[in-house]
Structure 1
């Protein structure tokens, strides 16, 4: 795609931009184009004028994602500081930009005496990402707290969708391809900041004890099947510590895959598929990927 076919922008637009530094696995190829818009108007104008056949993908903190080694065609949109604001409002509502992290949302809520969103502290991503995939942990899910969100469609049209319109199920929404969540409103409840902080501390300590947070990983790899825990199925299939190339199943938490240092994305994905095969042979259960896999092999 030639630069001449791209709309002019006020933000940062870079060709052949490496994505490995921007994702947790630290592997994978480049974006054909990487766009960090200056603000919503910049993004909306870009989307409206971008040729309709050019694919668009949003990138948050890159935590729940494998970027394949062949890179990502089209435009990868990364929402920066202009989309990272969180503002409390009357009635225990939190207005959040699509680029705000779960940690920022939960800490802003604490300071405002808004309880009920503490679990977002444990989701390693941005509002846009966990609204899209109904992120959840520690007994909470986005569908439980979301009132509505502002979504920029691939056409450049800005729409507001209610939680009902998102068609949420476990780790899934009906948001169309190429759509970008630019803002969301979460409903909390009154709470004492000290109590909220105590719950956030409990969640943080639990994650630290059970998950390989200091490793190059992508977070939870597989969805929990009905009535089962993915990590347990992986463990029972004998996959703890299993390795392909530079990729390994975590010994600390078997629903996490690790890049030991020099893994390609192909190594990581192949390891995940080998785990799925062994779990199917052992238990008869088809594990489904929770991690998003994008780009060309």
Structure 2
């Protein structure tokens, strides 16, 4: 089923001209700074516009140095694997900060703890925990993102969430200040924290419990198999699209509203899992977001539930 252009009213802010933000690079900056940087290749949907600037810091000190030299008010946003993100076609104003290899370390500490860089992927964290005999972090095998992203949004899967394992995290604010926040200060709720968009999680400490590496590995394999069998992993997708409302499952509501297989432009609701949107080839971000909004409208009309986006949507329409 294909949605026509007239079937969806744009709900994002009105599009208008943006001159972009200039950036004066502070002397001594060691990381890479790229102007007008295309972001589509860096996000799982493979769609969207460019960042005014893309900064890839050499380390935490370099990030602090760079941000402290920015003009006050310059927008700043962190980008991890881009797995749960729609970058709108007009691009992202200001600076996008991408934490690369220097932020991907995972170190085993005492008392069943791990210290992880903000750019470390969930599968690496879970694997390090398994090898160290630390149980309770297996669910991270099922989160397609980095530490910075799932700490920010209280990522979760298979009955567990980050709030269950986080001890504290190191966060750099857009003015360059570095703070360490205990889990209690994040005010975690379902897929939400108090961290603002300009807060960049550069490291986090997680605590599990002593466990048997073979048992831990078996659970990770079970999670991997379940994802493979139930989710469209080998497509251009953005993970779970909508949050589960209290007492209901988002995929089931989407299905009941007749939206499985629904399409708009190059975007389509997955036939395999109705809470996943996919880019079938040449979808724009407007196609993907527009399809999501049409699903929300139909689900509300059919079931009375107002689905909330789980995927972040950022940038200029």
Question: TM-score if structure 2 supplies the norm length?
Answer: 0.92
Aligned-partner Cα distance in 1 for 2:237–2:37: 21
Q: Deviations over 1:212-271 (max 9, x none)?
A: 000000000000000000000000000000000000000000000000000000000000
The answer on 1:6 being equivalent to 2:21 is no
Q: Which residue of 254, 260, 263 corresponds with 1:240?
A: 260
C-alpha deviation, 1:4, in angstroms: 5.8
Confirm whether residue 111 of structure 1 aligns to residue 95 of structure 2. Answer: no
Q: Name 1:276's counterpart in structure 2.
A: 296
- Counterpart pick for 1:25 among 38, 45, 52: 45
- Partner Cα distance (2:238, 2:62) in 1: 30
Does the 8 Å contact 2:114/2:206 carry over to 1? Answer: yes
Which residue in 2 is equivalent to 1:185?
A: 205
* Inter-partner Cα distance in structure 2 for 1:145 and 1:56: 28
User: Runs of 4 or more off by more than 3 Å in structure 1?
Assistant: 1-4
Mapping 1:192-203, distance limit 5 Å: 192-203=212-223
Distance 2:97 2:23 in 1: 18
Residue 3 of structure 1 deviates from its aligned partner by 5.4
Q: State the distance in 2 between where 1:4 and 1:223 align.
A: 36
The Cα RMSD (Å) is: 0.9
Task: State the shift of 1:153 in Å.
Answer: 1.1
8 Å Cα contact 2:237-2:276 kept in structure 1: yes
Q: For 1:5 and 1:153, locate their aligned partners in 2 and report how far apart those are by CA, in whole Å.
A: 18
TM-score, normalised to structure 1, is 0.99
Q: Give the secondary-structure state (helix, strand or coil) at the position aligned to 1:271.
A: helix
Q: Pick from 235, 249, 252: which aligns with 2:272?
A: 252
Point out the more displaced range, 147-156 or 123-132: 147-156
Which consecutive unaligned segments of at least 5 residues does structure 2 have? 1-19
**Structure 2 SS opposite 1:5:** coil
Q: Which residue of the partner structure matches residue 71 of structure 1?
A: 91
Equivalent residue, structure 2, for 1:143 = 163
CA deviation vs aligned residue, 1:34-81 (integer Å, no higher than 9, x gap): 000001110001111111111000000000000000000100000011
Stretches of structure 1 that go unaligned for 5 or more consecutive residues are none
- Give the CA deviation at 1:118: 0.3
Partner of residue 159, structure 1:
179
Q: Look up the match of 2:119.
A: 99
Question: Does the CA contact (< 8 Å) of 2:170 and 2:179 recur in 1?
Answer: yes
| Equivalent in the alignment of 1:262 | 282
Distance 1:28 1:113, change over 3 A: same
Q: Distance in 2 between matches of 1:195 and 1:271?
A: 41
SS in 1 for 2:296: helix
Aligned length: 297
Aligned-partner Cα distance in 1 for 2:222–2:21? 51
In the other structure, the counterpart of 1:56 is 76
The separation in 2 between residues aligned to 1:143 and 1:260, in whole angstroms, is 34
